Amino acid sequence: DGIRKEISILRDSPPAEPVRVMHSAVSRKVSAMLEDVVKTGGTGTRAATKGYRIAGKTGTAKKVKQGVYEDDAYLAVFCGIAPVENPKVVIAIVIDEPKKHGYYGGVVSAPVFSGIASRVLRYLDVAPDGEIMHAGNQLMLNAGATKKVIDEKVI
């Protein structure tokens, strides 16, 4: 919600005082835009994690070797948060010079994010979102049931 909290991997570290870094309305808009990346039509659809609303950003970068951009050397990146409404984790996946399935972050790194996020959220016992997730022309309910969508109506 526009507040930065210092983090630590040590349990005995006292929590630092949160600092507001942007207005909450701006934070909500940015979160909505990043959530669109994972929805149908976005570049990060493969990051979708069943039962949770995810937000993130894909990235693809050419690597520099000896001061020159290499033609076939890439970093494939996906960085995301989960769940969107009350984030518990931030996960960044960087694949250095991917060899299979292309080199775009949305193709190579996003599925890795999905697998890790799914396991981590279950491990942390984060309850699934109550919202319906979109997947193509179907709505996936948290219980795994599906219903077809016709003219934006659930049948």
Give the model confidence (pLDDT) of 3-40 as tens digits.
888 877 777 777 788 899 999 999 999 999 999 999 99
**d(Cα 125, Cα 22) in Å, to the nearest integer?**
29
Q: What is the pLDDT of residue 74?
A: 96
**What pLDDT sits at residue 111?**
97
Question: What pLDDT, on the 0 to 100 scale, is given for residue 124?
Answer: 93
Q: What does the H/E/C string look like for 26-52?
A: HHHHHHHHHHHHHCCCCCCHHHCECCE
**pLDDT single digits (tens) 67-123:** 999 989 999 999 999 999 889 999 999 999 999 889 999 999 999 999 999 999 999
Q: d(Cα 9, Cα 142) in Å, to the nearest integer?
A: 31
DSSP 147: E
Q: For the chain, which residues make up each domain, given as ranges?
A: 3-129
Q: Model pTM?
A: 0.76
Return the HEC string of 51-93. Answer: CECCEEEEEEEEEEECCEEEEEEEEEEEEEEECCCCCCEEEEE
Class of domain 3-129: alpha beta
| Per-residue pLDDT reduced to its tens digit, 127-148 | 998 644 455 545 554 444 344 4
